[in-house]
Amino acid sequence: MGCSDMPVPSIIINSLTKSYGGLTALDSFSLEVEQGAIFGLLGPNGAGKTTLIRILTTLMRQSAGDASIEGLDILRSGRDIRRMIGVVSQENSLDRYLTARENLELHARLHGMEKQLYKSRIDNLLELMGLAGRQLDFPDTFSGGMQRRLVIARALVHQPQVLFLDEPTTGLDPQSRRAVWEYVRSLAGSMTIFLTTHYLEEAEQLCDRIAIMDHGRLIALGSTQELKERLSGATVYEIEFSGQDIDRYVVLLGSMPCVIDIKQAGSKVTLTLECWECLSEIVTSLNGAPVRRISLLERTLEDVFISLTGEKVRE
Amino acid sequence: MLRGSLAIWQRDMLILRRSIVSELMAVVAYPLTIYLAFGIGMQGYIGLVDGAPYSLFIAPGLITMTAVNAAYNESVWSLWFHRRVQFTIESYRVTPISVSEIVIAKIFTGFTHGIIKGCAVGLVLFAITPFRFPIEHLLQYLLFLIPGSALFSCAGIISGTIMDKPETIGKVEAVLVMPLIFMSGLFFPLSSYPSAVIPWVRALPTTALFEGARRALVAGEMMSMSVLQVSLSALITFVAAVVIFRYKMSE
Ligand SMILES: Nc1ncnc2c1ncn2[C@@H]1O[C@H](COP(=O)(O)OP(=O)(O)OP(=O)(O)O)[C@@H](O)[C@H]1O
Ligand SMILES: [Mg+2]
């Protein structure tokens, strides 16, 4: 670590590009992640999140650009990088023919750890992840949440400096998801954590900083708060109608130039306006309409996401 | 350097140990059936082949066939499964071991399966059939069985590396591997082929393997050119398997 006050970047990504034939999955992507941070990468399906993680974890070569982890170049120092990273991939890569404990032991051996060292380390991890009682069982008999915890434990056996988590909670029920969040949070500070997710709530709950990507490009970067402030110009209102014939008003509102986005759900219509002053125009045009209530909505990361990518996050 | 290979190979051996009884039963059943059906059932109709009773003629081939088949099958399916289904290969690849260490481990696993299963069939044939051979011939025989199993294990690794679909693997086995084994003088002497074809069949490493292995076991004959041919083929296939696997992993 440097002695200046500037945080030292743990991951430096510089104009990384990856093409699969004609498709550019990663397009001149640049980013820096501070040491010890929990960094979240948000993006819809096919945005290029897994591609980026695969390149950073040396599973795949980039087409152009470069990146380094803890100062080591990913192409030149693959083996040294793999020594200090832990990886939880999107697919479940547990060995279903080995018990939970054997899964961790094999991983420790592949990292060249000595038995007396990994034995106690594995005991601790199984305890921490709440799996100690099931360590002699096969992963097939585990719930989704337990399997995910086991994969995370496996990625931690060799005490990595940087942990990559590719959609660590996808497919888990809310309770298991919260459990995983807790474990991840407990690691904060002891290592750099780079995670991808579809869940805005996850990014909001866990991450110090968030990047949003789509079509292989970085489209926004900042803390949750900073990202929300990006939308400072726009405001979102919810209008609740009391009568019938709402469609007519939806068409009318949708045709107004100050309306960026309009959505209808039952008697409620959500309007995204260019600025709050536009509200008076709206009120004027709704003169005589059966409006029960107009309320200002608090903007969420979801709004940021929609306004940046033009689509909802698919879960 | 091969620390990673050792860890993966030991993992594979642990799995084999856990299922050894069912594995061996499955693997012994097939050659034993062939032995009983052809070696015993057809013996009276066939008479002597190359001066030996038919059952004695095919027994060494059945042992060799079991070994190389087991080596090939273990390698091809294990590689496909760990690459495409369980993603274990990927979990190995994010550790500090090299891609070569992974593929070498898998080649050794297939090879070990071949040797163990071949020996098991040999023992069973020895125990429950009249098939006998002078025990001192075993050493010559192993000179074939070892490179033969290695050759087929490497071939299996290549197939399991380049084929992504299980049905393709099944087809290649039916169209290429089984014919190669069956046509290499396992069930009949090479002299049965039309004379124009014989040089071509002889050029196949499988022919050198089956022919050489039989003569080694039954007659104690040492066909060094055949040993060399099989060993060289195994070496070339080994290099090819490592190169192809490394290439596939760098995609
Ligand atoms: N091996 C491959 N060959 C060809 N195209 C690929 C390959 N892997 C990914 N792609 C394409 O690259 C793009 C990015 O894929 P990637 O898996 O990185 O997205 P992702 O953000 O992880 O998506 P998800 O949220 O669904 O996991 C997609 O359009 C995908 O179809
Ligand atoms: Mg992905």
Six-digit token pair at B80? 């496909």
The pLDDT tens digits of the residues spanning A56-97 come to 999 999 999 999 999 999 999 999 999 999 999 999 999 999
CA distance A114 to A119: 9
Interface of A with B in 95-114 (CB under 8 A): 95-98, 102, 106-107, 109-112
**What pLDDT is stored for residue A7 in this prediction?**
66
Query: Interior CA angle at A257 toward A255 and A263, to 5°?
Result: 55
- Residue with structure tokens 């038919």? B54
Q: Does A89 touch chain B (CB under 8 A)?
A: yes
**What pLDDT is stored for residue A234 in this prediction?**
64
Q: Is the pLDDT of residue A275 over 80?
A: no
Q: For the purposes of burial, counting CB atoms within 10 Å of the CB of A132, is it exposed (0-12), middle (13-18) or buried (19 or more)?
A: middle
Provide the residue-wise pLDDT of chain B in tens; the chain has 251 residues. Answer: 689 999 999 999 999 999 999 999 999 998 999 888 888 888 788 878 888 888 888 889 999 999 999 999 999 999 999 999 999 999 999 999 999 999 999 999 999 999 999 999 999 988 888 888 888 999 999 999 999 999 999 999 999 999 999 999 999 989 988 888 888 888 888 888 899 988 998 899 999 999 999 999 988 988 999 999 999 999 999 999 999 999 999 87
Would the CB atoms of B94 and A82 count as touching at under 8 Å?
A: yes
Residue A262's CB: how many other CB atoms inside 10 A?
Answer: 18
Instruction: Find all residues with CB under 8 Å of B208, minimum gap 6, and list them.
Output: B202, B223, B225, B226, B229, B230
Return the H-helix or E-strand segment holding B146: helix B138-162
Q: Is the pLDDT of residue A314 over 70?
A: no
Please compute the mean of the pLDDT values over residues A244-268 and round it to a whole number: 86
Task: Return the bridge partners of A222, or none.
Answer: A210
**By CA distance, what is B85's nearest residue in A?**
A93
Task: Check: pTM over 0.95? Answer yes or no.
Answer: no
Q: How many distinct structural domains can be found in chain B?
A: 1
Confidence of residue A294 (pLDDT cuts 50, 70, 90): confident
| Pairing mode, strands A38-42 and A209-214 | parallel
CA distance B223 to B220: 10
Residues of chain A positioned with their CB less than 8 A from the CB of B7: 106, 109-110
**What pLDDT is stored for residue A293 in this prediction?**
86
**What pLDDT is stored for residue A152 in this prediction?**
95
**What pLDDT is stored for residue B41 in this prediction?**
83
CA distance B232 to B147: 9
CA distance A65 to A16: 4
Q: Is the pLDDT of residue A26 over 90?
A: yes
**What pLDDT is stored for residue B223 in this prediction?**
92
Alpha-carbon distance B70 to nearest alpha carbon in chain A (angstroms):
20
Domains of chain A: 3-228 (3.40.50.300), 235-298 (3.30.70.260)
Across the beta sheet with A162-166, what order do the strands follow? A85-88, A162-166, A192-197, A38-42, A209-214, A217-222
Q: Does B98 touch chain A (CB under 8 A)?
A: yes
CA neighbours within 13 Å on the CB side: how many for A155?
31
The pLDDT tens digits of the residues spanning A132-182 come to 999 999 999 999 999 999 999 999 999 999 999 999 998 888 888 898 999
Q: Which structural domain, as residue segments, surrounds residue B211?
A: 3-250
Alpha-carbon distance A95 to nearest alpha carbon in chain B (angstroms):
6
What is chain A's mean pLDDT, rounded?
Answer: 88
Here the ipTM equals 0.91
Burial call A105-114: b when 16+ CB within 10 Å, e when fewer: bbbbbbbebe
Higher-pLDDT residue of A257, B25: B25
- Round to the nearest angstrom and report the end-to-end CA distance of chain A: 38
Return the top range by mean pLDDT from A179-188, A232-241, B39-48. Answer: A179-188
Would the CB atoms of A59 and B94 count as touching at under 8 Å?
A: yes
Return the H-helix or E-strand segment holding B52: strand B52-53
